[in-house]
Amino acid sequence: MKKLIVLAFVIIGFTSCKQEQTDAEVRIISAEEMQELTTLEDVQLVDVRSEDEYRLGYIQNAQNIDYNSPNFDDEIDQLDKSKPVIVYCQKGGRSAKCVKKLKEKGFVKIYDLDGGLAKWKFKGFEINY
């Protein structure tokens, strides 16, 4: 019986001290905050819309990784997990799903543009074509 109790304490000790590797800092940011972040930090900017949507206008320095593409996971794996990542889509739905995947993959700092490209445009920020 004593051995069983000691074993239970050992197991509890090991599992309670274990920290999750996927503890990521995730923030939803405004267009203004994103504008500032892109000038202050070395960030990876990812547009998760389709290629056709991307061609209609995108934020400067954004790379297009289509969330609905069969290659999405492979392309995301090419990003540097130790660098901050900002994701956006048209209005925020796909980027929110992308954030979950980035967390699962172990990215450290993840930002999601609130309202997506639609809000970015509404605030008057520049769009590239």
Per-chain mean pLDDT for the chain = 86
Is the pLDDT at 29 greater than 90? The verdict is: yes
What is the per-residue pLDDT across 49-85, written as a single tens digit (0 to 9) for each? 999 999 999 999 999 999 999 999 999 999 999 999 9
Q: In angstroms, what CA-CA distances link 114 with 16, 29, 84, 91? A: 35, 6, 16, 8
Mean pLDDT, range 31-54, rounded to an integer: 93
Query: CB 58: neighbour CB atoms within 10 A?
Result: 20
Report the pLDDT value the prediction gives residue 38, as an integer from 0 to 100: 87
Mean pLDDT, range 29-41, rounded to an integer: 91
pTM exceeding the 0.85 threshold for the entire prediction: no
**Domains in the chain: ranges and CATH:** 22-122 (3.40.250.10)
Mean pLDDT, range 92-97, rounded to an integer: 95
Kindly provide the residue ranges of all beta strands, DSSP E only, lying in the chain, ordered along the sequence.
25-29, 44-47, 63-64, 85-88, 109-113
